[in-house]
Amino acid sequence: MLHHEHPEIKKLLLTGKSGLEKESLRICDDGHFSHTAHPFPDDSCLVRDFCENQLEINTKAAATPEGALRDLIYHHRKAEQALHVLPVPEYLWPFSNPPYIRNEDDIPVAQFSGDQRSKTVYRNYLAEKYGKYKMTFCGIHFNYSLSDELLHADFAFSEETSFNKYRDRLYLNTARNLMRNGWIITVLCAASPLLDGSFLNRDDAGKTVFSGMASTRCSELGYWNHFVPIINYHSVFTYADGIREMVQDGMIASQTEYYYPVRLKSRGENSLDELEKTGIDHIELRNIDLNPYAEAGICIEDLKFMQLLVVYDSCIHSGELSKEEQVTAELNFKNASHYDIDIAKILSNGVSLSVRQASARLLDQMDTFFTDTDAREIIDFQRQKLTGKSARYAVRVHADFSDGFVKRGLEYAIKKAGLSH
């Protein structure tokens, strides 16, 4: 854990790098999926995820959350403008849940060729294992690394003789805490309570369905491995070996199929070998819905809160995670996605609290920890989502789009695209 009580460390706590990955579906003006080829083949920031029409925007690592968001907005506008002038205009669907789906053949698996053909083979494997429908869920991944200046300053106070070993231990400590506390991101960023009926039954296209979840994609209805991954977080090597064992046992096909909301990543090439060789560079948080009320799917207040949560979890001690705790952690992440946060439960240290109560308690703990005015304003912004029902994104989406999820959503997508030009 960081030695946050030292003035030299305290002043550096919120220095770090932020990066974003955002998925959005390309759609036509009738609310159906685009079936055109990926229109940005030479842009490394605009790539494909599972579907050919599933655009993924990747930002560079920025010195601040504001910088990462500016980069995301720049590429989001660039994509929208390029799609708008196609012979048949296309739009970016602003929700995590998909619009109309005719059938599985309507979902175009991303097509790669040549040396990258294995990417299509892998996607076909995922389609067979999980079904294509789930693969259309979209969201945002937040990548965060503590600054080198902070790490080197804190290393001077540690008992470690190896900087790389110190850094890995710190990130592993942080990851364990995020396993325990990261569910709150789902609570505060959930924005996908509605589905088109065609997701469940193709004869119900045009019918709006309430899933009972605030975040369908983060719930038990969404994108999870078919088992609870159990990993030893003692060292970077035990962490990597845990994922390798899943691959060797045939539980997953590769490390990219490890679908946990918290992941440890290396710099550059995303591989377990590289993670062991160069060490942990950053933490990836994956349980963020697209916020349709923000231009590029996320607002600065939520980004800053995620930074605060990572830093907070870097400053508190974390014991090893038992198998039972890891099972509970996954259950907490799923329960946090439920719509009614007064009924759904969070389990912590043998105590069961409602999601609302557990969220309020964690926010209070963070509020006590951070004395900086700006940080406390961000925490208060999140607290308002719990005290005023209309402030939660999922509640707002339910109120604004229940009378026609795709029809109203399409009108909204077209209007948003027009405003960005």
> Is-contact 290 416, C-beta < 8 A?
no
Query: Predicted confidence band at 416 (pLDDT cuts at 50, 70, 90)?
Result: confident
Using CA atoms, how far apart are residues 321 and 339, in angstroms rounded to an integer? 28
Alpha-carbon 94 to chain mean position:
15
- Please count the structural domains in the chain: 1
Using CA atoms, how far apart are residues 143 and 124, in angstroms rounded to an integer? 27
Using CA atoms, how far apart are residues 109 and 357, in angstroms rounded to an integer? 42
CA-based angle 259:97:407, to the nearest 5? 170
Using CA atoms, how far apart are residues 47 and 385, in angstroms rounded to an integer? 33
Q: For residue 377, give its domain range.
A: 7-419
Task: Flag whether 2 is in a domain.
Answer: no
Q: Which pair of structure tokens corresponds to residue 340?
A: 């009614």
Alpha-carbon 226 to chain mean position:
19
Task: Flag whether 1 is in a domain.
Answer: no
Report the pLDDT value the prediction gives residue 395, as an integer from 0 to 100: 96
Task: Flag whether 64 is in a domain.
Answer: yes
pLDDT tens digits, 45-104: 999 999 999 999 999 999 999 999 999 999 999 999 999 999 999 999 999 999 999 999
Q: What is the CATH number of the domain that holds 364?
A: 3.30.590.20
Cα separation values, 235 from 64, 242, 283, 322, Å: 28, 11, 15, 14
Query: Predicted confidence band at 419 (pLDDT cuts at 50, 70, 90)?
Result: low
Q: Which pair of structure tokens corresponds to residue 374?
A: 């700006």
Task: Flag whether 389 is in a domain.
Answer: yes
| pLDDT of 421 strictly over 60 | no
